[in-house]
Amino acid sequence: QVQLVESGGGLVQAGASLRLSCAANERSFSMDNMAWFRQAPGKEREFLVGIRTGGGNPNYADSVKGRFTISRDNAKNTVYLQMNTLKPEDTAVYYCAARRSRIVLSAMRRWEVYDYRGQGTQVTVSS
């Protein structure tokens, strides 16, 4: 059973940066398509960014494009989300998700297509 554990969340002021990590407990992590989502109180879960195993450019949501950057270190079985210029509206629980089988770019934005999901890490941005 693959487990994903997010870390790096916290309370920061607007304009600050945070880097979230998502560590997987599997050797074949490099074969996983990975994504980050978030959910704010009272709102639907929102896709942020996805990165496929085959390479290519990451797929970013417009709301975070230019501020957030996804990267992965397959040697450490970890995917990262670098978040810059944080805003109060970025306050949410952030989740990572993994899918082993092939996925088309358009489907990466759907939470239900992922096989494994983390428990989330809270990010709070004060104004």
Question: What average pLDDT score do residues 47-59 get?
Answer: 86
Averaged pLDDT of the chain: 93
Element (H, E) at 4: strand 4-7
Q: pLDDT-derived band of residue 24, with 50, 70 and 90 as boundaries?
A: very high
Contact 76, 23 (CB under 8 A): yes
**The pLDDT of residue 55 is above 70:** no
**Backbone dihedral region of 66: left (phi > 0), alpha (psi from -120 to 50 degrees) or beta?**
left
Q: What is the pLDDT of residues 89-123, one digit of tens each?
A: 999 999 999 998 888 888 999 999 999 999 999 99
Contact partners, residue 57, CB within 8 Å, separation at least 6: none
pLDDT (average), residues 52-81:
90
pLDDT of residue 126: 97
Inform me whether the pLDDT recorded for 28 exceeds 90.
Answer: no
